[in-house]
């Protein structure tokens, strides 16, 4: 059975990062944020694994 990789809504990601939507999009525009998925209905999702990998990169960079 394949392992589930939950897709988080943008609001969930923003809450976890304790960041405003505008600050998040600025970070993404500078290519400093986690990888995003855009659904056909234009909603944004972030895979849990992508967010966890991004967190790990931030720890190494600090």
Query: What pLDDT, in 10s, does the model give residues 16-46?
Result: 999 999 999 999 999 999 999 999 999 999 9
Domain boundaries of the chain, sorted by first residue: 7-61
Other CB atoms within a 10 A radius of the CB of residue 26 amount to 13
* pTM confidence score: 0.84
The stretches of 1-62 forming alpha helices (DSSP H) are: 10-17, 21-29, 48-61
Sign of the alpha-carbon torsion through 33, 11, 17, 26? positive
- The pLDDT of residue 23: 97
pLDDT at position 7: 96
Q: Which residues pair with 45 in a beta bridge?
A: 9, 37
């Amino acid at each position: 059975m394949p392992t589930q990789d939950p897709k988080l809504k943008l609001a969930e990601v923003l809450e976890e990062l304790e960041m405003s939507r505008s600050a998040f999009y600025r970070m993404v525009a500078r290519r400093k944020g986690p990888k995003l998925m855009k659904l056909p209905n234009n909603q944004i999702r972030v895979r849990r694994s992508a967010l966890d990998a991004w967190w790990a990169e931030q720890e190494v960079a600090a």
